[in-house]
């Protein structure tokens, strides 16, 4: 089979609407869909010498799908769950005396739970480790880590309405 480099401009004109529809469908966000759509064609442009012009719609569709799924995964990974907003408020207490109040609140919170719960919270919320990484670090199952974090959030919710 002879390799014919892709003409990215003509692909963009012909398949751009299809790629954008796919991105909109998966991302549910117009701006993000436009960004990923553009990224699809940038990726093809960067690799055009290694790609063939056989089945370009499939190539673009799969590329768009993969980039969107990566974006969704990143969104979830970096999102701050609403249940944790109290913890983040405490962690970012910047007003005078706010840090002292936060320390007292955290000391009381962690005083009600095993020391390992504090380690789990620090690894997950401050160090940014995933639940799987925290579980491996502390020797618990992922569900055990999730349960400990849920109990900490519940206790904090009782302490700070």
pLDDT given for residue 143 in this prediction: 92
Q: In the structure, what pLDDT confidence band is assigned to residue 86 with cuts at 50, 70 and 90? A: low
- Give the pair of three-digit tokens for residue 47: 């690799």
pLDDT at 147: 92
- Of 78, 99, 128, the one marking the end of a domain is 78
Residue 24, domain member (yes or no):
yes
Task: Verify that 95 and 152 share a domain, yes or no.
Answer: yes
Residues 61-84 have a mean pLDDT of: 76
- Domain housing 56: 8-78
pLDDT digits (tens, 9 = 90+) for 121-145: 888 887 788 888 888 888 889 899 9
CATH number, position 22: 1.10.1740
Residues 92 and 23 in one domain: no
What digits encode the pLDDT tens for the residues 4-36?
A: 556 777 787 888 889 899 999 988 889 889 999
């Amino acid at each position: 089979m002879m390799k014919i480099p892709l003409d990215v401009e003509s692909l963009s004109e012909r398949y751009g609407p299809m790629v954008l529809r796919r991105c909109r469908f998966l991302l549910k966000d117009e701006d993000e869909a436009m960004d990923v759509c553009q990224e699809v064609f940038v990726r093809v442009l960067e690799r055009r010498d290694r790609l063939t012009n056989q089945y370009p719609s499939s190539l673009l569709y799969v590329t768009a799908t993969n980039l969107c799924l990566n974006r969704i995964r990143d969104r979830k990974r970096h999102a701050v769950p609403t249940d944790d907003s109290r913890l983040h408020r405490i962690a970012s207490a910047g007003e005078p005396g706010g840090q002292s109040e936060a320390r007292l609140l955290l000391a009381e919170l962690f005083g009600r739970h095993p020391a390992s719960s504090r380690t789990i919270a620090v690894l997950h919320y401050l160090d940014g480790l995933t639940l799987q990484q925290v579980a491996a670090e502390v020797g618990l199952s992922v569900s055990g880590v999730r349960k400990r974090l849920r109990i900490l959030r519940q206790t904090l919710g009782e302490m700070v309405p």
